[in-house]
A = this chain, B = another copy of it.
Amino acid sequence: MIPHAKPAVGVIGLGAMGLGVARSLLRAGYPTLGCDLRPEVLRSFEREGGIPCPAPGAMGSRCQVVITLVVNEAQTDEALFGPGGAVPALTPGSVVVSSATVSPGYSRDLGRRLSEHSLLMIDAPVSGGAVRAAEGKLTLMTSGPAEAYAKCEEVLGSIAARVYHLGDQHGMGSQVKMINQLLAGVHIAAMSEALALGIREGVDLKVLYEVITHSAGNSWMFENRAPHVIEGDYTSLSAVDIFVKDLGLVLDTARSSKFPLPLSSAAHQMFMMASAAGHGREDDSAVIKIFPGIKLPSSVG
C-alpha cells in the first residue's frame, strides 16, 4: 500500500518524547503513523509528513512495529487493550515497543499478556529528554526475546544513539530505567535544595552554577535543570508530576521487596509537596518552590 522501501512504524503518544521519536523515524525514511488524543497535534504531525491515526487500533493493520510512548502504565494499557486499542488490530508476530516508564512488574506482565495475543514485545524505556528525542539520540534501556529484536532492531537504532540490551526477559530494561529515575529524581530535588540554600545565604546563582558544573557536586540534572530556576522559566519540559509518578514506582517496587529507600522517600515527599501546592504541571525544577523564606529569580520575559 505504502510506496516506501521501509516498513511503516506506529508511534502512540505524540508528547515531547513521542513526537521526537516520530520525527526521527520520518527522517530515517520510515512511513510513520502517529496517534494522539489531541487533534491539533495530529494535524501538525500530518503537515510534517506523518500519517495521523485517530486511534491506536487504526494503525494496527498498517504496521508491524508499534512504539508506545505515553505517560504511564494506565495509558499504556488503554492504548493497547482499551476501546480502539492497538492489540486486536495488530497482525500476529508484530512487535510492541513499550517505552513509557513503568514498573518492572508491569512490564513483565505486559509481555505475558501480549504473548497471549501472539504479539512480541520489547521492554524499552528511554532516557535523554525531549531535545535528544528530537535528534534521534535517545538512550534506550531494552530487554526482550531475540525474535522481537530481530523485527525492530533497525527501528530502535534510528531513534537512539545507544540501545542497551539488558537481557531476554521483559522488565530488565524497566529495572534499569527505574534506578535511573531514582537518581534523576533525587538529583533534581538536590539541585533545588542546593540553589535554595544558596539564595538563602546570598550566593550569586550564576557564579554558583559555573563553579558547581566544574566541581565534584555536578550532576546531569544539576547542569540541565538549574538554568530553569536561575532564569525563572518553569515551562514544563518534564513535569513535577512525572517524578511524583516515577519516584512512586521506585518506592512501590522497593516496598514490594521490603527494601528501605530513605533518600528517594524524602525526594518523593518534596515532589508531592510541590504538586499539592499546585505546581504539578510545571517543570520538575519547580520543586524548589516548596522552600519557604526565599525569593526565587523571576523570568525576564
Residues of A within 8 A of B (CB): 104, 127-129, 139, 141, 162, 164, 166, 172, 175-176, 178-184, 186-187, 189-191, 193-194, 196-198, 200-204, 207-208, 210-212, 214-222, 224, 250, 253-254, 257-267, 269-270, 291-293
Contacts and interface: CB of A to CB of B under 8 A. Distances in A.
A200 B259 CA distance: 8
Contact of A187 (B181, B182, B201, B219): B219
A197 B180 contact: no
State the 3 A-B residue pairs at the shortest beta-carbon distance, nearest first. A183-B217, A219-B219, A180-B217
A103 to B, nearest CB: 11
Given A176-B207, A182-B197, A201-B257, A214 B266 contact: no
Contact of A186 (B257, B258, B263): B263
Nearest to A256: B201
Copies of this protein, total: 2
B217 A184 contact: yes
Contact of A179 (B172, B184, B203, B257): B203
25 contacts: A128-B216, A129-B216, A139-B211, A139-B215, A166-B204, A166-B207, A175-B198, A175-B201, A178-B197, A180-B212, A180-B215, A180-B216, A182-B217, A183-B217, A186-B190, A186-B193, A186-B263, A193-B262, A193-B264, A196-B259, A216-B220, A216-B221, A216-B224, A218-B219, A262-B266
Main secondary structure of the interface of A (DSSP, over half): helix
A183 B30 CA distance: 44
Contacts of A166: 204, 207, 211
Contact of A207 (B164, B216, B221, B293): B164
Contacts of A183: 190-191, 194, 212, 217-219, 222
Contact of A190 (B208, B257, B263): B263
Nearest to A294: B259
